[in-house]
Amino acid sequence: MNFTKMHGLGNDFIVVEGERQLPDNASELALDLCNRFFGIGADGLVYILPSEKADFRMRIINSDGSEAEQCGNAIRCVAKYVYDNGLTNQEEITIETLGAGVQKVQLTIGEGNKVQTVRVDMGEPILQGLQVPTTVDAERVIEHPIEVDGRTFAFTAVSMGNPHCVIYVDDAVNFDLDTWGPKLETHPMFPRKINVEFVTVNSRSQADMRVWERGAGPTLACGTGACATLVASVLTGATDRAATVSLKGGDLLIEWNEADNHVYMTGPAAEVFRGAL
């Protein structure tokens, strides 16, 4: 098994191509290979597969063996991989995802004819409470109270093909992710669990975000989470429709376009090393 280790702002993946379909033991492989002490180490295992609907298809298995519907950092890594390795020579491609359908990707080519940044059309956000999904039957779930271990938070629910709850705090950078992240991820209000973003808005054009990812725990970055953060911040009146979301691993530029209602994410991806098992 040949693999390439890649990351998007520190959110790292084991990328594999050449398979015709997802292996039956993909979950077991992810558990073993993503282990940072006894395996390669990663937040997820990503397969690049053929698609009947798009140029490529990706499937993402989290480090706990569960499957993610979508991942903004992973799709940037896949886009860089297919161009840098000669699987396409097009600077605009499409990638099929499990939960967000076919997404359009625009590549910026830099030094050495390698992909420098990737702009992804992340599609329209889903805001209806039951569709995110949450147990809240409302057209939009904005600043809704949720109680955990005697503490009450207010969350805004957004799906970017995968579920997110965005919570505003005084200091996202130093927030206690390890205590509150897992408790919110598995809260009964979220029937398929949820990704949790803790956010501090510093200006109309910039916000700090820290994330507890469903199935992976604390990660250095989350592309769909950054998109959900921007959408929630527009809904709550905290930011403009385009802003920089600063994560532990770096910055993403997110725009919620008013004309087509699509969210666009721009950021880097990087190859770390290659290997074989």
Catalytic residues: 71, 222
Which stretches does DSSP call E strand in 71-214? 92-97, 101-109, 115-121, 144-148, 151-159, 163-168, 195-203, 206-213
Q: Are 231 and 158 in contact (CB under 8 A)?
A: yes
Look at residues 63, 99, 87 and name the one whose alpha carbon lies nearest to residue 192: 99
- Which residues, including other chains, have CB under 8 Å from residue 69's CB and lie 6 or more apart? 97, 98, 99, 100, 161, 162
Asked if residue 133 has a cis previous peptide bond (ω within 30° of 0), the answer is yes
The Cα 201–Cα 4 span in angstroms is 35
Return the structure tokens found at 71: 């991942």
Q: Is 181 in contact with 260 (CB distance < 8 Å)? A: no
Residue for token digits 């805001």?
A: 127
DSSP state, 66? P
d(CA 277, CA 275): 7
